[in-house]
C-alpha cells in the first residue's frame, strides 16, 4: 500500500490497476458509494455478499482492501479514499481520437515513470485537433496537435504579408 503524503489513508496498490483516469476514479467512487448505501440500508446482507453482487470483478480486490471486514469503519475509509484520490496529481490530455484501454495503460505507465508516483489522466476527446494532443501538467501547457501546428504556420505566413 502507498501512503499519501497529505493524509493517513493508505492507497491500495491494486487501485492503480483500475483507477488511471479521472473517469475510472469517478466510476470507482460511485461503486463504493453504492456499496456504502447497501451496507446501511439492510442488516441482512453480509459485506462479502454486497461486494459480490455490486462490484465489477476488476474492483472487488480494491473494495475488500478499502472496506476490510468492518462495516462500521467503511464510511471513514471511503471518505479517506475519496479525499486521497482527489489529491493525486493530474495530467490533462486532449486527444484528437478516442483512446483504447491499451493506449491509456501504456500512456499512464509512461507518465508514472516520469513522475515516479501515482497520477490520474484527465482525458478529453476533441476531433478539431486533427491529430496529436494537448498536454497540461503541473501548470505547463504543450500543444502537440496538428491543428496547433497549422495555426502556428498560418500565423507565421500571414505575418510576412
Residue-level pLDDT at 11: 66
- Would you say residue 30 has pLDDT above 70? yes
Residue 18 reports pLDDT greater than 60? yes
| Predicted TM-score (pTM) of this structure | 0.76
CA distances from 58 to 10, 27, 42, 113, 133 (A): 19, 12, 25, 23, 29
Tally the residues of the chain: 161
Per-residue model confidence (pLDDT) at position 33: 84
pLDDT, tens digit, 9 for 90 and up, residues 71-115: 667 777 778 888 888 888 999 999 999 999 999 999 999 999 988
pLDDT of residue 69: 61
Amino acid at each position: 500500500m502507498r501512503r499519501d503524503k497529505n493524509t493517513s489513508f493508505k492507497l491500495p496498490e491494486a487501485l492503480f490497476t483500475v483507477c488511471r483516469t479521472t473517469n475510472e476514479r469517478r466510476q470507482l467512487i460511485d461503486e463504493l458509494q453504492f456499496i456504502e448505501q447497501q451496507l446501511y440500508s439492510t442488516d441482512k446482507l453480509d459485506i462479502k455478499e454486497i461486494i459480490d453482487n455490486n462490484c465489477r470483478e476488476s474492483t472487488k480486490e480494491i473494495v475488500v482492501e478499502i472496506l476490510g471486514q468492518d462495516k462500521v469503519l467503511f464510511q471513514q475509509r471511503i471518505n479517506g479514499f475519496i479525499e486521497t484520490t482527489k489529491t493525486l496529481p493530474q495530467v490533462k490530455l486532449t486527444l484528437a481520437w478516442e483512446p483504447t484501454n491499451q493506449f491509456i495503460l501504456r500512456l499512464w505507465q509512461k507518465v508514472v515513470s516520469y513522475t515516479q508516483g501515482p497520477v490520474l489522466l484527465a482525458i478529453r476527446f476533441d476531433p478539431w485537433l486533427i491529430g496529436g494532443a494537448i498536454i497540461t501538467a503541473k501548470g505547463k501547457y504543450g500543444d502537440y496537435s496538428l491543428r496547433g501546428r497549422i495555426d502556428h504556420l498560418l500565423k507565421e505566413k500571414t505575418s510576412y504579408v
